[in-house]
Amino acid sequence: MCGIVGYIGKRDAYPILIEGLSALEYRGYDSAGIALVHGKGFSIFKDKGKVDHLKEITKKISAGGCGTGIAHTRWATHGAPSQMNAHPHLDQSSKIAVVHNGIIENFSLLKQKMIKDGVKFCSETDSEVLAQLIGKYYNGDLASAVRRALQDIEGTFGIAVVAADNPGVLIGARRGSPLVVGVGEDELFLASDASAIVRHTKKVIYLKDNNMIELMQGTFNTTTIDNKKVNPEIQNIDWDADSLAKGGFNHFMLKEIFEQPETIQNAIRGRLLVDEGAARLDGLNLVLQELRSIQRLIFVACGTSWHAALVGKYMIEDMAGIPVEVEYASEFRYRNPIIGPNTLVFVISQSGETADTLAALREAAHKGATVLGICNVVGSSIARETHGGVYLHAGPEIGVASTKAFTSQLTVLSLLTLLLGRMRRISHSDGVTVARALEAIPKQVQKILKQNNHIEEIAKTYAKHNNFLYLGRSYNFPVALEGALKLKEISYVHAEGYPAAEMKHGPIALIDKDMPSVVLAIKDSIYDKVISNIQEVNARGGSVIAIANEGDKEIEKYVKHVVYIPKTIPMLSPLLSVIPLQLLAYHIAAIRGCEIDQPRNLAKSVTVE
Ligand code: M6R
């Protein structure tokens, strides 16, 4: 969480930093701040609230003359959102300014010690400890002072540090929180992710864990934190700044929902072998023999990525006959999991930076497992630390509510199912059936998106309701979970996802005229059972919004509203059935006037435990 930007170069730092913060605001928006170095001190502006507010309070500053600066947008962990707790933080003599992402676990101990030594603190944050420590060790050599201070720190950090008396240097360092360095013509950038700097340069260095970088005018020096020389690889970003604009949509979330025909296609491209009824995923870095010898899979993820993993389990067990366990990363990392031989671990993460998922990856690797990733963000920590994996190629996902990443994850999991299944249970002709069905998905999604207005009308009917039940069975049970999560995170409406048949074991007690149920009634082998569940809701005076297959006129007898989706094979139905649920959540949140792209208390990338 939290977004960091830094700049050193010949241009004015202020507009570059502010614009960078706006691009990073999805990472946290409790407060924002900026420090400009003008040689004889800092100009510091910070306050509670969003980047637009920071822009407002700084619009009168004269930007000219400061070519070095750092900035921050915060997702609060230690200390409430306030001006005092906003970054940058200074040491007591205002020689050093620091912006920090992560958590300093031993901050309380360090703070007490320093208070005893007479150091005056002015915030409740863990981050201020770092500023005070660097200040204590600073004697004109900023890199050495940062290095020395980081030896005292336990926990995670991505930092940018400047010294008041030296506009010629900007230090970045990371452990557990991402940092990317942008390499421009005679200018250098530092940011939590590339979206903050892609307008200025496409050449980037993804700083490795426990590495530090000293940025000077036009040149840089990379080392480990304990000062061993590192030769960083400069890479090219393969997307451009246009992907960061809303493109005529009111919100990034809506834009990303509408991008899905294209993003699903991007995940398929070059990987689906239709005539062979198979798939290739070269990035897994596994030879045929290794793939054939797999006896068990473990999927580890959080949130929406966990829901995708659950669909993946249903696909792979059903079609490839390999047992799959799906684990919450936060549980897996601490519960001493058993990882036997011939077990592959997959970590699934849009951002590739989720702290729990990253820790689970390390735990699995420590136990000797081969760990593979399904990630969207190229060069992210998870992408770099796994033994191999598959990128989603969905482009940057800005909306805090994950939408296009979910369907791309499902697409990659379908490809994995085909790859593993063809070596086991799936015949050539069944493989071709799956491949053709997958090939058809982007157009089918397009067709569902055309019903946006119809879904908005349904949203109008239910926008004032405060409780929802989402029900699905088989492949569509995880979709029910995902639909409920989408609604609660962006509209703050209570919603629960349940396997439809479990409803009668408890949640049915909640059903009355004020609690609508969204039911995934897809024509598959258990369709009739779902109809029985709908009848159970009706009998208690509840109203039902059904997601059903085109041509299913029968369902209209039992439900208040229907959204029709095209037919596909059961394993791919979640790729279609989730789309109306994303749109329903979006419209309910919009009608309720919620901040859709930046819902309260949330952040896009959860880099703290
Ligand atoms: O980046 P990741 O996929 O690892 O993120 C995991 C969750 O934090 C994320 O899916 C979260 O649940 C989203 N806000 C859901 O929309």
pLDDT value at position 78? 84
Q: How far apart are CA 470 and CA 110, in angstroms?
A: 48
Ligand 1 mean position to 349 CA, how many Å? 7
- Say if 91 falls within a structural domain: yes
Concatenate the DSSP letters of all residues of 556-579 into one string: GGT-SEEEEE----GGGHHHHHHH
Give per-residue burial for 427-442: e unless 16+ CB within 10 Å, then b: eeebbbebbebbeebb
pLDDT value at position 63? 54
234 and 266 belong to one structural domain: no
Q: In sequence order, what are the beta bridge partners of 326?
A: 299
The CATH number of the domain holding residue 254 is 3.40.50.10490
Closest CA to 8 of 47, 46, 40, 37: 37
* Final residue of a structural domain among 416, 432, 448: 448
C-beta of 381 in contact with ligand 1 (< 6 A): no
Ligand 1 mean position to 25 CA, how many Å? 16
306 and 185 belong to one structural domain: no
- Say if 605 falls within a structural domain: no
User: For residue 261, is it left (φ>0), alpha (ψ between -120 and 50) or beta?
Assistant: alpha
First to last CA, the chain: 11
387 and 529 belong to one structural domain: no
Q: Please state the atom number of ligand 1 nearest to the C-alpha of residue 402.
A: 16
- Say if 607 falls within a structural domain: no
2 is catalytic: yes
403 and 307 belong to one structural domain: yes
Low-confidence ranges of the chain (pLDDT < 50): none
- Say if 327 falls within a structural domain: yes
Q: How far apart are CA 210 and CA 575, in angstroms?
A: 39
Sorted by sequence, the CB contacts under 8 Å of residue 348 that are 6+ apart come out as: 299, 300, 301, 305, 306, 308, 309, 312, 357, 373, 374, 375, 409
* Final residue of a structural domain among 430, 448, 466: 448
pLDDT value at position 286? 87
pLDDT value at position 252? 94
Residue 182's domain spans which residues?
Answer: 3-240
292 and 335 belong to one structural domain: yes
**Vertex 82: Cα angle to 79 and 85 (nearest 5):** 55
417 and 357 belong to one structural domain: yes
- Say if 604 falls within a structural domain: no
406 and 284 belong to one structural domain: yes
Q: How far apart are CA 59 and CA 61, in angstroms?
A: 6
pTM: 0.81
- Say if 609 falls within a structural domain: no
280 and 181 belong to one structural domain: no
304 and 417 belong to one structural domain: yes
C-beta of 354 in contact with ligand 1 (< 6 A): yes
Question: Count of domains in the chain?
Answer: 3
Ligand 1 mean position to 146 CA, how many Å? 32
Q: Are 334 and 379 in contact (CB under 8 A)?
A: no
* Final residue of a structural domain among 431, 448, 465: 448
- Take atom 4 of ligand 1 and give the residue whose Cα is closest: 349
Q: Which of 46, 95, 255, 604 is catalytic?
A: 604
C-beta of 177 in contact with ligand 1 (< 6 A): no
C-beta of 376 in contact with ligand 1 (< 6 A): no
For residue 437 the two structure tokens come to: 């069905």
604 is catalytic: yes
Sorted by sequence, the CB contacts under 8 Å of residue 121 that are 6+ apart come out as: 111, 114, 115, 128, 132
Q: Please state the atom number of ligand 1 nearest to the C-alpha of residue 351.
A: 1
C-beta of 31 in contact with ligand 1 (< 6 A): no
pLDDT value at position 602? 83
- Say if 345 falls within a structural domain: yes
C-beta of 349 in contact with ligand 1 (< 6 A): yes
Q: How far apart are CA 209 and CA 139, in angstroms?
A: 26
Single-letter residue type at 315: M
311 and 402 belong to one structural domain: yes
pLDDT tens for 230-261 read 999 999 988 777 777 787 899 999 999 999 99
- Say if 222 falls within a structural domain: yes
Ligand 1 mean position to 375 CA, how many Å? 11
pLDDT value at position 238? 80
Q: In sequence order, what are the beta bridge partners of 343?
A: 296
Q: Are 200 and 182 in contact (CB under 8 A)?
A: yes
25 and 142 belong to one structural domain: yes
pLDDT value at position 62? 60
> Ligand 1: which of 177, 305, 326, 488 to mutate, most ligand atoms within 8 Å of CB?
305
Single-letter residue type at 295: Q
Sorted by sequence, the CB contacts under 8 Å of residue 361 that are 6+ apart come out as: 300, 345, 347, 371, 373, 382, 385, 386
Single-letter residue type at 24: L
Q: Please state the atom number of ligand 1 nearest to the C-alpha of residue 303.
A: 12
pLDDT tens for 447-506 read 999 999 999 999 999 999 999 999 999 999 999 999 999 999 999 999 999 999 898 898
The CATH number of the domain holding residue 88 is 3.60.20.10
210 and 283 belong to one structural domain: no
